Structure 1
Amino acid sequence: MSEKARRTLWTLLKFGVTVGLLSYLAQSIELDQALELAASAHPGSVVLAMAMVAAQQVIIALRWRFLASMKAETPTYGRFFRWTMEGLFFNQTLPSSVGGDAIRIFRLARDGGLRVSHATSSVLLDRAFGLLGIVLIAAIFLPTMFHLITDPVMQQGVVLLLAAGLGGFAFFLILDGLPPSVRRWKIVAEFLNMSKQARHVLLSPPLLAKVGLSTAAGQTLALSAFYVLAQGLDVNVAYGVTMAVLPVAILIATIPVTIAGWGLREGVLIVALSYAAVSEPQALALSVLYGLVHVAVGLPGGLFWLMARTKAEKPETQSPGPAA
């Protein structure tokens, strides 16, 4: 089977899993009530949540530029912001967030003039630090999670999830310290340079401050938007509960078995928020509305992409030749 055929098959499988999960939730929950709740959200809360998610993209573009500029001259911040918005758009419309990352790599390499390897390193490092931020926020609010959910099996599952996230990042940092026989593996060799750059960030206080503060601010904004939407839906849930539950749902939704995490995120939030006395229709409405906010914020990225393609494909005008 060719690589293209495998990708197509995997995409179809993810589409099927997404449709299956959402269909199951729709049949198990009072879907009409959930949709009515989502439609009744206070417009001011929706606009504020969109503004917060948009502000996160501003910060992500800044963090990405910090990481890209470690070893190379980089384009202006405005271009990083446009490419970040394009990435968000494709994250929401393609079967995997890898699609959005590929767009960012393509833009930085082709239009930003950086080597493909350097562009790839900067994007994957940005992704890694973003996920690390989610893991750390979830760890900070772990006591709230355990106070909310007392089931030992679920508690152990959350701990294992966070431990896997932290362990994966720690392993990433020591890749170039592995035995030479392992470093020669193709998949390891391609990440060796990124491992060194990640350690450089952690060992450089000024750069660590920039990356750390931007990560904390960006993730806090996006997670807080969820709480704002809950208030707009008149869902009685504490801020600490949303900050404990949502990061775990986001981490689980990064498992590449559905399209943009749809279905997984909803299922996790429905179960977790039920411990906070949030009804299933309310949790489903809240999760769907949160996803739609990201889709709406990402729409300008699609416009940026179309404008860039139009400009690239526009034929050059030729000056008229000398008169006969």
Structure 2
Amino acid sequence: MALNPKIKSALIFALKLTVTLVPAYFVYRNIVGSPDWDSGDLYRLFSAKSVLPFVVALVCLAVSNFTACLQWKLLLERQGVHLGYARLLKLYYVGLFFNNFMPGNVGGDVKKVYDIRMQGGQDTVGAGLTATFFDRLFGLFFVTLFALAMGALFFVHDDAQRAFVWPSIWIFLGFCAMFAGLCSKRLGRIATNLMSRFLPKSVGERLVRMFERFRHFRSVKLWAQISALSFATQSLRILVHFFCGIAVGVELSVSWYFYYIPLVAIVSALPISIGGFGPRELLAQSLFARAGVASLESVVIQLLAYFVSLVLSLFGAFVFLLGGNANSAGCQDKQS
């Protein structure tokens, strides 16, 4: 017997709330459990010297949003959806605003797909979904490369840090297998045939069309372009955490951030908590403790980086409230 949709939604929300609150409790306990903990420590983290690093973090994230939007635009164009960069940037910021308040940081992606449909009609739903999904995957894939590179360059000979290379290797291999399945005709056909045996016919047909869309990304030039853009985007977003660390007085080499933040970003992207809270802070606290960063500072860095994202996403809230994302004029959809 199928559950009532309302009951099902309530149970899923309760589960995500639990996944959010339980790690958050351990984060709190680790902070207040420190022998020299004092509530005044939180206020002492910030000073007049915190302003400039915070502003630099804002600039880094703002520039990364421009490069990320350009990557999204390239992927949409490969799907036959052509929109002006300024209009797409507005949709992108609306998505960022929703990402800050929806479970698992994926609510904004759903909103972007919906807005693409509003811009170009029903036929653009598949194109928007494919481009947005691939855009998210490629960003996580590329940030994993940073962790692997830092591990190979600086941490592979450190017994205390070497173990964290393995999660990055397995995640990297998983992404490689996924991209091979999505973009390969043979592997895509095998995957759809297997899934079609267990799924309804209508769902199987949609999967076939989805794999056909992903094969539009089989272009050396496109991969070179999005690799360059992802390098810039993900580097800048990791630097946001680095400058947030400087803002609270943490003097730590940037290589630690390029090694740890990718793992934190991947956990944050999982739709298992509310807005990524809880698991993100607990993992960051555990990882940065190995680099000698106190529990309070490691958590505040994550919260400050989130606050930077929230400040910039207010532009998306402004666009959303004005209804500027629903204008369908000017879209030339070439999707068949």
- Structure number with the bigger relative contact order (C-alpha 8 A, sep ≥ 6) is 2
2:69 is aligned to 61
In the alignment, structure 1 residue 301 sits paired with structure 2 residue 308? no
Rounded to whole Å, the distance in 2 between the matches of 1:220 and 1:111 is 31
Between the aligned partners of 2:315 and 2:323, the Cα distance in structure 1 is 12
Distance 1:223 1:166, change over 3 A: same
Matched, 1:99 2:107: yes
Matches of 1:180 and 1:17, distance apart in 2:
33
What TM-score, normalized to structure 1? 0.85
- Paired amino acid for 1:168: M
Cα distance, 1:262 vs structure 2 = 1.3
Moved more, 249-258 or 159-168: 159-168
C-alpha offsets along residues 253-294 of structure 1, whole Å, 9 cap, x if unaligned? 222221121111211111111121111111111111112211
Cα deviation digits, residues 82-125 of structure 1 (max 9, x gap): 11111111111112323111110111111244521112112112
Show the 5 A alignment for 1:13-32.
13-30=15-32, 32=39
Match of 2:174 in 1: 164
Could you say what secondary structure the match of 1:111 adopts? helix
Q: State the match for 2:268 in structure 1.
A: 253
Match of 2:151 in 1: 142
Equivalent residue for 1:275, pick from 272, 278, 290 = 290
State the one-letter code of the partner of 1:178. Answer: I
- Give structure 2 stretches of 5+ with no counterpart: 328-336
Q: Hey, which bits of structure 1, 4+ residues long, moved more than 6 A? A: 309-312
Change (3 A) 1:71 1:93: closer
Q: Equivalents in 2 of 1:246, 1:275: separation in Å? A: 13
- Structure 1 Cα separation of the partners of residues 281 and 40 of structure 2: 15
Query: Which residue does 2:189 correspond to in 1?
Result: 177
Deviates more, 1:213-222 or 1:70-79: 70-79
Counterparts in 2 of 1:179 and 1:238: CA distance versus 1, 3 Å: closer
The Cα of 1:182 is off from its aligned counterpart by: 1.7
Report the counterpart of residue 70 of structure 1 in structure 2: 78
Q: Which amino acid aligns with 2:42?
A: L
Distance in 1 (CA, whole Å) between partners of 2:254 and 2:54 is 17
Structure 1 residue runs without a partner (length 5+): 313-324
User: Which of 122, 125, 131 is the equivalent residue of 2:131?
Assistant: 122
Q: Number of matched residues?
A: 311
Question: TM-score w.r.t. structure 2 length?
Answer: 0.82
